[in-house]
Amino acid sequence: MGTVQLVISVLDANDNAPQFNQSVYKVQIPENTERGAFLVRVNATDLDEGTNCNISYSLTNFFPPDAKDMFEIEKNSGEIHLRSSLDFEDAAIYRMQVDAQDKGNPPLSGHGKVVVEVVD
Ligand SMILES: *[C@@H]1O[C@H](CO)[C@@H](O)[C@H](O)[C@H]1NC(C)=O
Ligand SMILES: *[C@@H]1O[C@H](CO)[C@@H](O)[C@H](O)[C@H]1NC(C)=O
């Protein structure tokens, strides 16, 4: 009988989903906040290594729905900015979901909430 040699290399499995450091990010902004203003920065961390911990942020599930055009997130830094100017007639409170997705195969994601309150 011959012998068989096996070479097994262990790669980091993508077994941790990104986790936000807060479940809800609340921010209050004056109604005259300028377009492009920085609002808040979210932060998720992932315990995996390499691309499995490389996180990309996105916003989804906006309420009211037109908030989709009002806020944007920088996908690498997690910085949320105001995209348009605020209108007095609009809602005083905006809610959205923030997702953090790693680049594992398959990717895993974590979720948080962002609440923006417009104050006088
Ligand atoms: C995110 O949180 C981690 C762990 O608390 C920290 O090490 C890291 O510097 C934070 N990143 C940002 C961009 O604040
Ligand atoms: C979460 O991370 C953000 C961005 O780095 C930071 O501003 C905030 O203070 C952190 N929150 C906690 C509870 O550490």
63-92 pLDDT per residue, tens: 999 899 999 999 999 999 999 888 656 678
Is residue 14 within 8 Å of residue 52, measured between CB atoms? yes
Q: Which of 43, 74, 114 to mutate to test the pocket of ligand 2 (most atoms within 8 A of CB)?
A: 43
Atom of ligand 2 nearest to the CA of 78: 4
The answer to whether position 67 is within a domain reads yes
* CATH code of 102's domain: 2.60.40.60
Q: How far away, in angstroms, is 102 Cα from ligand 2 center?
A: 19
CA 118, CA 29: separation in Å to the nearest integer? Answer: 5
pLDDT digits (tens, 9 = 90+) for 3-43: 887 776 666 788 889 999 999 999 999 989 999 999 999 99
The answer to whether position 2 is within a domain reads no
Cβ of 2: how many Cβ atoms within 10 Å? 4
Number of domains, the chain? 1
Ligand 2 site: residues with CB under 6 angstroms? 21-22, 41, 43
Q: Give residue 108's domain range.
A: 19-119
Residues paired with residue 100 on neighbouring β-strands, in sequence order: 57, 110
